[in-house]
A and B are shown apart, each in its own frame.
Chain A
Amino acid sequence: MNKINLLKPDKKNIKLFIFLGVSFFSLGIIDFSLNHFLNTNITSFLPGYISFLTPLFFGMIGLHFIRIEFSGIKQLDNLNKNINTSNFNAALSICIILLVIFSIPPLLNWFIFEANIAGDKKEDCTGDGACWVYIKVWFNRFMYGMYPNAEQWRVNTTFIIVLGLAGLGYFFPLKLKKYLTLYYVIFLPIISFLLIYYLISGGEFGLVWVETGAWGGLSLTFIVSFFSLIFCFPIGMMFALGRRSNLPTLKWTSILFIEFWRGVPLITVLFMSAVMFPMFLPDGTYVDKLIRVIIAIVLFEAAYTAEVIRGGLQALPRGQYDAAKSIGMGYWKMHLLVILPQALKLVIPGIANTFLALVKDTPLIFVVGLLELAGMLGLAKTNPEWLGFSMEGYVFAAIIFWIICYGMSKYSYNLEQKYKTDR
């Protein structure tokens, strides 16, 4: 029998130490679970705070016993390397494990096991969990706002066509690839605008006219972000080039434009578009609220896009400019053929971040009375028949936005990897 030193676990007594470690660790977990789920404290004979911390102590002792270097067991080595390098690390690991045990079951209960899905009235929500009936009943409103139920196929058709057209660029034959930019920058926006104008707004070809005030929900989020994306990119590019121009008027105009919009919060810009902008137009002209909002967001985001593109322009080495000039290229030729293609590739992550920020900013349009998803939630929450379900609504909206934003950021990451070239 080897001598056993409990303070220094070693390889010779590895079986004993693993047994001790696992038992202590399990004891800690069991103590915590009993305490938390069954309200029985097996260590109640200890004074208050010590009893509270026993799971942590047990777990740490357990992890201490199995912290054996080069044990020869692959799994154990891996475990030690990843969560158990020192006492401090072990303590943190245990805290996180306990936190997971603490929070996952109630969350699952709320989300799934005690939630109500069947039914279509408030009274059907009997469980302690979430009331998904509420989301089910209001789903159409959350997606389409006040858009009439019978006409919602028009919104769907528009989105399907636009998505289809956008996806079409992916299958362009190689011969037509050079027109791809043209297709995305000019053709697609015009088609989308015509579709939205004639199909969603209606009023002609026998379609009922639906005013923009009735648009809402998630579809409005998409419409606003789509148009803002399309317009803020070329405007941003223009001001980025302007800021780097050596003509003083252009330069200072661009600087003033960019710094002004970057310095104010979006909410005040929207206020401006709502209350101040009509004062600046000739008496009697009326610009639709939605269009004013889109203009405001475009101007605001264009300034951010401009700064991102400028970063890309600055990152290019001077040699690129000199080389382009030395073979006799003019300003526009140089920028279109040499500088911008390289600079834009560099700023893909930055542009993606700006677009993400734009999508996350769209809920703000509630200040001018347009109700997209978050705004509709506010409306549904105050409906006297459905009081008290704000939690479900916000969780639902958060999940939807999270999926959109996370998807976009992952896509931009892939794009970045795809276009990455070594220079």
Chain B
Amino acid sequence: MKIKKILPQLLTLLTIVLIFGFFTINAQINMDNRGIEFGFGFLKQEASFDIQFSLIDYDGSRSYARAYLVGLLNTLLVSFIGIIFCTILGVIVGVARLSPNYLIKKTAAFYVEFFRNIPLLLQIFFWYFAALRALPMPEDATLILGTSFMTIKGLYTPAPVWNNFDVFIISLILALIIIFFFNRFAKKKQEEEGIQYPKFLISLGVFIILPLLTFLFGGVDLSWSFPKLKQLATTSFTYEGGLSIPPELIALTLALALYTATFIAENVRAGIQGISKGQKEAAASIGLTPGQILKLVIMPQALRIIIPPTTNQYLNLTKNSSLAAAIAYPDLVLVFAGTAMMQTGRAIEIVAITMATYLTISLAISVLMNWYNKRIAIQEK
């Protein structure tokens, strides 16, 4: 009996050790032959390549580590924007698919079936190479909403110019802390004494009023800088001032959001459909209003079904953002696994670092997810 348990385990271990040993020895020999030393010292060397779009200070004289950071931040940026847009769109479409209105239902179904069945890479190519290339040159662009220009070179919008920005941020954080403690207090009151406060309204009020006060008393000041057309040469124009968003970022965000939203829409639909009709009827029969039914009975149960697969989609979106390499948006893969690897030739280290980065993001979200799942799981008695 015991041999039956030990033998397969020994065999597995042996296979793993053999495979890894084989690879390590080969890698060692190959690297010796080419005169490469394994190590991460190259991260401190000067990168000497430029990155078109970066959130932090960067130029060619900075190190590879800095380039890695730029790429990582760009990846996180596009994922963050994509997640926000795909959530909004996904929830709207998911609810629309359950609408009693035939036209809305069919439009939503058409959208989901259409965008879900086309490879994401093709969609990115389509937006970048076909759709955004049809936009006007900077000098021919028309004003959108009186402030922005949509051109072939990207979107130019007004940029906020802050005075004493840190005071504003501190007030925001303060507001969040107050809201957190207020909600705990309100929950306790409700559980112990049955007193209900308008939690949402008060929270919203604190969140808006406190930062507004800083404008009056904290010396915070906000003004806008508008993009202005500037002539570089006789036929070459560009915009100065304001915020410029490169077309790569727009195409990537658009494709990621439209594609992922279809999956989120399906999750939302499944979640709402997963609540049995009896729940709604039971809630109505004890006299809850339709608003209360949605807020207190349907949503808490639907969210339990919706959130886990939706987090998975967020994770997919983050991983899919690596397709940026195809249209030269400087994300982690393009900057680090592309340019930096070409220059240094350190395939093993760089691929390992890139994979480890994505792995860390994934595992962190998984851990968070498991914690959340445990928290909202039905407490059976």
On whether the beta carbons of B347 and A279 are closer than 8 Å, the reply is yes
| B235 within 8 A of partner (CB) | no
Interface size on B, residues (CB 8 A): 57
- In which size bucket is the chain A interface? 35 or more
Residues on the A chain within 8 Å of B319, using CB = 264-266
Candidates A96, A260, A381, A398; contact of B118 at CB < 8 Å: A398
- CA A60 to CA B23, docked complex, whole Å: 71
| A53 within 8 A of partner (CB) | no
| B238 within 8 A of partner (CB) | no
Which parts of B124-160 form the interface with A (CB within 8 Å)? 125-126, 129-130, 133-134
| B362 within 8 A of partner (CB) | yes
Residues on the B chain within 8 Å of A409, using CB = 117
Interface centre among B341, B348, B351, B366 (most CB of A within 10 A): B351
| A291 within 8 A of partner (CB) | no
| Chain B residue at smallest Cβ distance from A357 | B316
On whether the beta carbons of A271 and B103 are closer than 8 Å, the reply is no
Q: Given the known A-B contacts A96-B103, A264-B319, are A280 and B362 also in contact in the complex, defined by CB atoms under 8 Å?
A: no
Which parts of B322-347 form the interface with A (CB within 8 Å)? 322-323, 325-326, 333, 337, 341, 347
Which parts of A350-409 form the interface with B (CB within 8 Å)? 356, 359-364, 366-367, 374, 377-378, 381, 390-391, 394-395, 397-398, 401-402, 405-406, 409
Candidates B16, B322, B361; contact of A268 at CB < 8 Å: B322
On whether the beta carbons of A268 and B101 are closer than 8 Å, the reply is no
| Chain A residue at smallest Cβ distance from B25 | A282
Residues on the A chain within 8 Å of B13, using CB = 249
On whether the beta carbons of A405 and B117 are closer than 8 Å, the reply is yes
On whether the beta carbons of B104 and A374 are closer than 8 Å, the reply is no
- CA A378 to CA B8, docked complex, whole Å: 49
On whether the beta carbons of B122 and A394 are closer than 8 Å, the reply is yes
| B363 within 8 A of partner (CB) | yes
On whether the beta carbons of A85 and B347 are closer than 8 Å, the reply is no
| B282 within 8 A of partner (CB) | no
Residues on the B chain within 8 Å of A267, using CB = 322-323, 325, 333
| A288 within 8 A of partner (CB) | no
| B9 within 8 A of partner (CB) | yes
Residues on the B chain within 8 Å of A85, using CB = 100-101
Residues on the B chain within 8 Å of A279, using CB = 26-27, 30-31, 347-348
Apart from A268-B355, A374-B122, list 15 A-B contacts with CB within 8 A: A89-B100, A92-B104, A260-B359, A263-B359, A264-B355, A264-B359, A267-B333, A279-B31, A279-B348, A280-B26, A282-B29, A361-B119, A390-B129, A402-B118, A405-B118
A interface residues, Cβ below 8 angstroms from B: 81-83, 85, 89, 92-93, 96-97, 247-250, 253, 259-260, 262-268, 271-272, 275-276, 279-283, 356, 359-364, 366-367, 374, 377-378, 381, 390-391, 394-395, 397-398, 401-402, 405-406, 409
Q: Name 22 interchain pairs, CB-CB below 8 A, sorted by A.
A: A81-B100, A82-B103, A83-B101, A83-B102, A89-B99, A93-B101, A249-B8, A249-B13, A263-B363, A264-B359, A265-B358, A268-B355, A271-B337, A276-B351, A280-B26, A367-B325, A374-B125, A381-B129, A391-B130, A394-B125, A398-B126, A405-B118
> Which 3 A-B pairs give the minimum distances between C-beta atoms?
A263-B362, A405-B117, A265-B319
